[in-house]
Amino acid sequence: MKLHLPIEARLRNAESALRKAQERHRLALRAGGLGSWELDLSTMMLETSEGCKVNFGLAPHDELPYSRLMEMMLPEDRPAMQASVKRAVETGEGYQAEYRIRRPNGQITWIAAYGRPFFTADGTPEIMLGTTQDITDRKHAEAERERLLAEARAARDEAERAVHMRDVFLTLTVHDLRTPVTAIRGRAQLLQRRLVQMQLPADDRQRIEEGLDWLEASTTQMEVILAELQDVALLEIGRPLELKFAPANLVALARSSIEQIRPQTDKHHICFDTPHEQLYTTVDANRIDRVIDNLLSNAIKYSPEGGRVTVSLAMEPEWAVLSVSDEGVGIPAGEHELIFQRYRRGTNVTNSFEGIGIGLAGARQIVEQHKGSMHVESQEGKGSTFTVRLPV
């Protein structure tokens, strides 16, 4: 009897360890929402765990033979499922499949199944073991995600169509407006020439001259706006601006811009600071003139109380450096790059000053297509300095 005690003790310990392992297995399956099953490949007898039956909407005491499982599976999903099982048996590899079933209450449920075949010593398929899991919630989430993605794609396509229509509208509008603006400016210049030949009282002549000067300045400003709109239309469709390069004197361009804008304000003191009489580089003069005009116009507009506006032009190794400084409202911290984006403006001026936010975006594009750069240094409430660097 004593000889058998150690063996019996070892058997009891082994049985206890097996029960613990089986319990851990059941707990793991339950925690993962998994059910287990075993299929006898010779008789097609199917044994299922309680968790497996729960996945199929059955009670623990309900039977779930293989034939009933096939009946519950939606007909359109059966061929793929049966092909997966057949392939697993033929190759000896495990399979994974997803299919839909109709529960006894009529509810459609998605099942994820995994199975692996086992063979006898002579290679005959014996059994297949596997698991099932209810993945209906995941499938619904995936379907919702696809729906949202489809809506997002449709919204993006609609936005792209709207942008295209806007660009076409901008191009046509600029073309249609440019002709009458040019005609108005030409007529104003003609009247200015005729005025020289007319005999008029000094006061009348001065009033007419001021009116014609204002008319020409306004049409010039309108032409600048139209040019900016045309550039925006080009940039929106990904086309670079068409530049016409030729040698130009930046000193003369800056002086001309200052003289053109000076009559538009009596609050600001505009000064030009440069040690150079001439500073030549190869640029598109009309485009660079627009850049300077834009910076000067902004300096005046965003300095409503007046103050000093300084245009500086200097040389650095391989660069011509133009800067425009003002004592205006400045730009909030964190928005210094934002203002160079199309249709974006500083949050401190959006509701206080007119504008649509295309000037600086176009100006930077012009400068960058000249292989140059533009940046700003600013402090809100203290003013701003915009600096342009152009290669020489």
Alpha carbons 151 and 171: distance in angstroms, whole number: 30
Beta bridge partners of 133: 34, 112
Compute CA 124 distance to the chain's CA centroid, rounded to the nearest angstrom: 59
Burial (0-12, 13-18, 19+ Cβ within 10 Å), 91: exposed
Alpha carbons 182 and 176: distance in angstroms, whole number: 11
Burial (0-12, 13-18, 19+ Cβ within 10 Å), 266: exposed
Alpha carbons 49 and 55: distance in angstroms, whole number: 10
Class of domain 28-134: alpha beta
Give the domain ranges of the chain: 28-134, 137-239, 242-392
Helix (H, G, I), strand (E, B) or coil at 38: strand
Contacts 24+ apart (CB under 8 A), 48-57: 51/132, 52/131, 52/132, 54/134, 55/109, 55/111, 55/132, 55/133, 55/134, 56/101, 56/103, 56/109, 56/111, 56/132, 57/101, 57/103, 57/104, 57/105, 57/107, 57/109
What pLDDT, on the 0 to 100 scale, is given for residue 71?
A: 94
Alpha carbons 79 and 132: distance in angstroms, whole number: 18
Longest dimension (CA), the chain: 146
What pLDDT, on the 0 to 100 scale, is given for residue 342?
A: 79
What pLDDT, on the 0 to 100 scale, is given for residue 26?
A: 56
What pLDDT, on the 0 to 100 scale, is given for residue 77?
A: 95
From 294, 227, 285, 230, select the one nearest 260 (Cα to Cα).
294
Beta bridge partners of 47: 38
Class of domain 242-392: alpha beta
Question: Per-residue pLDDT for the chain (392 aa), expressed as one digit of tens each?
Answer: 444 556 666 556 656 555 555 555 555 555 456 898 999 999 999 999 989 999 999 998 999 999 999 999 999 999 999 999 999 999 999 999 999 999 999 999 999 999 999 999 899 999 999 999 999 999 999 999 999 999 999 998 888 788 777 777 777 777 777 778 888 878 888 888 888 788 878 888 888 888 888 887 788 778 777 877 777 767 666 677 788 999 999 999 999 999 988 888 888 999 999 999 999 999 999 899 989 999 999 999 998 888 899 999 999 999 999 999 999 999 999 899 999 987 788 888 877 787 777 789 889 989 999 999 999 999 999 999 999 999 99
What pLDDT, on the 0 to 100 scale, is given for residue 14?
A: 58
